[in-house]
Structures are given as C-alpha cells and as structure tokens.
Structure 1
C-alpha cells in the first residue's frame, strides 16, 4: 500500500505508461521504512538474507538495521520510553529481555490479529510483549577424546575435571540456572547451585569472557567440557571444533531470541510487517539451516537429518524448560553481584 494517496488522474497516467511500456518491470510501491534493532555479525546478515531481501524488499519495505549488542540497545529503549517517538521500530532480544522491557512499559503489547502468520506460532513462543523468532536449548558439550560422555549438568561441573571445565562469563544467568538444576533446584531456585559452581572454580575451572573465547578453548583442547546452546554447538561442529553434545538429564533450559515492538515506534505497521515476515515458513526454514536454531512456527519443514543435529527427540522435548523471566528480571542484579564478587573473586 502506498504511503501517499494517489489521485485518479495520476493513477490513469500510470496505467497509460504501463501500457506503453509493457516489457518493463514495475517497481514495487514504497511501503515505508522500518528500523530494526539487532545484534551484528551473522544474525544481522541472516536477517537480511532470509527476511529482508526476499520477503520485505519486494513488498516495498526499506529496512534499516540499528546494530549493537543487547545491553546498549536495551538501555536505549528504556531511555527513549518517555519520548513521543522512539528511533527504532522493532528490536531483537532474548525472551528474558523482552519480558523485562515489556514490564518496564517500553514495549507494545502484541496484537496477534495484525499477523497473518499468527496461527502458526508455537504457543510457547507467543509472549505478551513479543514473539519468539528462533530457539535452542542449553546442553552439555564435550570433547570425546578428552573425557567420557557426560549425561548431566552435574557431570559437566564435577570438580574431578578440574581445569578442563569451562564457563562463559556473559552467560552467568543460565550457568547459575544449570547449576541449580544440577543440585536438584529449579529455574527460580538458584541458591542450591552456588556451592557446586564454587567447588568447580576451586578445582581449577576456567572462565572465558565470550562465547567465541570458549569455542577457541574447546578447539585448542585447553578445556574439555562446558555448557552452551545446542545451536551454537552445531555451528562450532560445522567449523571443525571437536565436540559432541548431550541433552542434560536434569532438564534443558531454553534460549529464545525474538522481537518486540517499541511502544513509541515511529512505524508500528512496519514493525508488524517485519514480525510477519520473520514467521514466514521460508524464513524459518532458512534460519534452521543457516544458524542451527529451531523454528518457532508449526508449518516449518526441517529435514530429518538436520533435525537430528539441531533439535531434540520426543523424550528430550519433555525435558525442555522455559526460564522464569519474572524471577530473572527481579534477581538479575543480585545474581550478577554474586557472580562478580564471589564466583569470579
């Protein structure tokens, strides 16, 4: 739909021009401009490849990416919430951050009637303030040459492995959740897991600042096991890093990346168009192939061989555990303080 009204005379002139030049292709009508907040790197590139170029651009949408890590973008959204108009229409965040921003009054409550693909969304991926785009689960990864196959989070942080254990600093929340599950607690009962983490650290477990640094340590065999999202593990396997993965017996915490619409978005229609495009079967199928994450729509088609690598069996699916986002939002400051001042000390 054009962003400006078209007069009858202009329309007739346009039809006449088209008739005079029947062999020329007709450019798509300008639908508008939509600004997307996203991480950079592969994710941003694949948004362009699988959503923006093939689906939105032919419909006349001009997409502009506002790339940054989640922390500065989250701060920006919250800082702009009192403005009449924000600077971004739609933002990509984890489900935990979507909950936090929504509860802070900075995200639009999703009107699912505005999405033609709404009926295909997996129920657990329908949030009040956002929609899941892709998901994976936290698993135990290990080098079979260096350690016996673990079966649980408890095995992954057993002090007997000493300096062969690796933790990722930026994943402090889910590491603490995994340790809680290992100790018999739950996703909203992290205190039980703290002693296990301290025992592993005392035994020589190593801490890496980023996912990439952890991957490099696995590649060089500096470490032999740790915890990571299965999708990222598949990417690392594709890159030749020697690792295998196990769905932990205690439960598989889910990691969901999705999108929210800023409450003061300049172009909410564009934001809904972007959401609808990300839910298209073609886009969801492509992300499964390109990133190793599972689709969040029921009509996606993932080949059996790929599903075996990126997905979870029927038995494992019963162990998938969604995080308690209200708990994490409430306790995050205390969790970070313990992690920095006690665990990392």
Structure 2
C-alpha cells in the first residue's frame, strides 16, 4: 500500500505547476460540434451540466450529450466497442482504479497534454498518462450520533454486526466496501485480503445489513434514520450535512483509502478534439471551485479560492493526510470481475 502525502501536495500547491511538463501556450480554439460524456447519473451528472457544460462549453457552440450509467456497464461498453473504428462515447468519467483498468484493456487514449492548456495547473498526483483527475476525497465512516454510540473510530466499528440493520451499504461502491472490510479485518495492514473481507461482510449480512442501489437512495435512508452507519467519501458527508441529513464523519484509524474521480478519452472517440476541450474545461478554476462548494470534493488544480471553513470540512488534517492511502489499481483491475460476481450473487442474494 502506498501512502499519498497530501500534506506535501497541499502545501506545495503554488509550486505544482512547475512540476508539469512544458505546455502549449496557444489559445485553445473551439469549432463547435458535439461531445458525448459517459458519466454516472444523479448529482454528479447534474453538477457536470451546471458547472462545466452550460457555462463553458455550450457558449462555444459545443453540444454536450451525457451517456448516464453505472461505471460497470460503461466499462463493458468501452471494451465491446474496442474494435470499432468509431465508438459511441468520447469521454468517460471513472474512478482512478477504473481508469487504470481501462488503460490496461487498451481502450483509452494516451493523452497529449499540449492539447489541455489548463493542465499546467494540475497537481502532479492527479496527472495520469491515460487520464486526468477531476476531484478527490477519502473514504471515511459516516454515522448518525443519535443512533450510533459511542462514536466509531474506523472500519471495524462500522462493520460490527451489533449494529444489525442499522448498517448500510451502497451497491455501486462494492470495490471500496471490499477494501474497507479487508482493512477492518487486518487492522489496516492489508487492503486486498478478499477472503477475510468476505468473512466480515457475511457476518454483517447475517446481522441484517442493508444494501441501497444508489447514493441518493442511501442518503434518503440516512435522513429518515432507517440506517445509522456506513462508509462513504468525505465529500458526500459534507454534501449531505448541507442538505440537513444528520451525519458525522470519522477518518478511519486503519487508514483512509483515497478516491479520485477523473476522465479518460476513449481511443476511438468520434469527437476527439471536443473530448480534449472537455478535459480542459473541467480544469478551469471556476468549475473546480464550484465542485468544492456543491459536492465537497477537493479540486485537482492549483490556485483555487476555497473558503477556509469549507476547506477544513472537505480536507484532512496533517495527521489524517499521513493516513491517506492510494489504492492498488493493478489488484483491483485483476479482481474486479470476481468481486462484482461475489457481491451480486452471494452478498446481495
């Protein structure tokens, strides 16, 4: 497991641009046309429209079409279209783990950063040869203090069968659930022990743990106190607190798995120039700041103007930054199908 030294990253924001390769200084010209964006639905899709599509790209004459679906069917679609000269989607929104997986599958473009002028401000840790980090956060325990006492300290406390049907899971977060369960079973020593993770999860299943299909369905269950404890990205906790949902966040003692959401360009994208335009637009300061406000995620470019009180809520303390852990993307890519099959056919059965 590799630790991400976010303290160094955050303290070095103003100098990060110097670490990026030389960029083209010419203006990024637009010529209209269309771009198809593969993304999750719900809040994320809505905020892409609000903060990127409407204010930046549509005034330049670019039509944005969203292909909304979970990441698993979109990845399957990318693979199925691999041999086509022209695919049906230009840009795909994926987690860092899934960006890695799709790069290994040979279906994504190796990026030409000279076509993304705003990448000169990109944090070095968010710059991949095959994708661009858009926003990041960390996986934390979320709980309702009214229902869960004493306050949990980590993943082991979340996955304690004593909470019974007050334990919640989000279906689309199965990978992060496996990681948390492995860390709970090993005291944070191993993120990839699938056998021990399954033991932990089956004990919770027998105790009455509930699975919700989407983030929004889970939020509704938290709001009406149907459930009281789970794990989610810290950004989501902030978003739900803003919506009046009774919840608090705890950074797990076992370690904080990092979450990066980013974008890749399909190798056979039919509108490749506009795909690059989209990546450039998402790195503008205005939408990056807006996602911090609207969604509680940390931005991936330097020089953002985020209110100190908000930064305190969405970010991490220096001690917590030391506990941020990058994921083993190669392991997740190799085992994703098996994890999803067990999750669907055994845990959810």
- TM (norm. structure 1) is 0.85
Question: What is the aligned length?
Answer: 318
Superposition RMSD on alpha carbons, in Å? 2.0
- TM (norm. structure 2) is 0.84
CA distance in 2, matches of 1:42, 1:212: 8
Where does residue 49 of structure 2 map in the other structure? Answer: 48
CA distance in 2, matches of 1:108, 1:215: 35
Q: Which runs of 4+ in 1 moved over 6 A?
A: none
Q: Does 1:333 align with 2:337?
A: yes
Moved more, 33-42 or 292-301: 33-42
Counterpart of 1:199 in 2: which secondary structure? helix
Deviation at 1:309? 1.8
Change in CA separation of 1:199 and 1:71 when aligned onto 2, cut-off 3 Å? closer
Deviation at 1:341? 4.0
CA distance in 1, matches of 2:42, 2:348: 28
CA contact (8 A) 2:37 2:66 kept: yes
Where does residue 117 of structure 1 map in the other structure? Answer: 118
Where does residue 230 of structure 1 map in the other structure? Answer: 234
Q: Does 1:74 align with 2:72?
A: no
Q: Cα deviations across residues 230-250 of structure 1 (Å, max 9, x unaligned)?
A: 122222222221111111111
Counterpart of 2:267 in 1: which secondary structure? coil
Matches within 5 A, 1:59-208: 59-147=60-148, 148-184=150-186, 185-208=189-212
Change in CA separation of 1:214 and 1:113 when aligned onto 2, cut-off 3 Å? same
Matches within 5 A, 1:159-308: 159-184=161-186, 185-308=189-312
CA distance in 2, matches of 1:213, 1:61: 33
Where does residue 34 of structure 2 map in the other structure? Answer: 33
Where does residue 9 of structure 1 map in the other structure? Answer: none
Change in CA separation of 1:267 and 1:323 when aligned onto 2, cut-off 3 Å? same
Deviation at 1:171? 1.8
Change in CA separation of 1:83 and 1:238 when aligned onto 2, cut-off 3 Å? same
For structure 1, the 5+ residue unaligned runs are: 1-27
Give 1 or 2 for the bigger CA radius of gyration: 1
Deviation at 1:344? 3.6
Counterpart of 1:151 in 2: which secondary structure? coil
Deviation at 1:144? 0.7
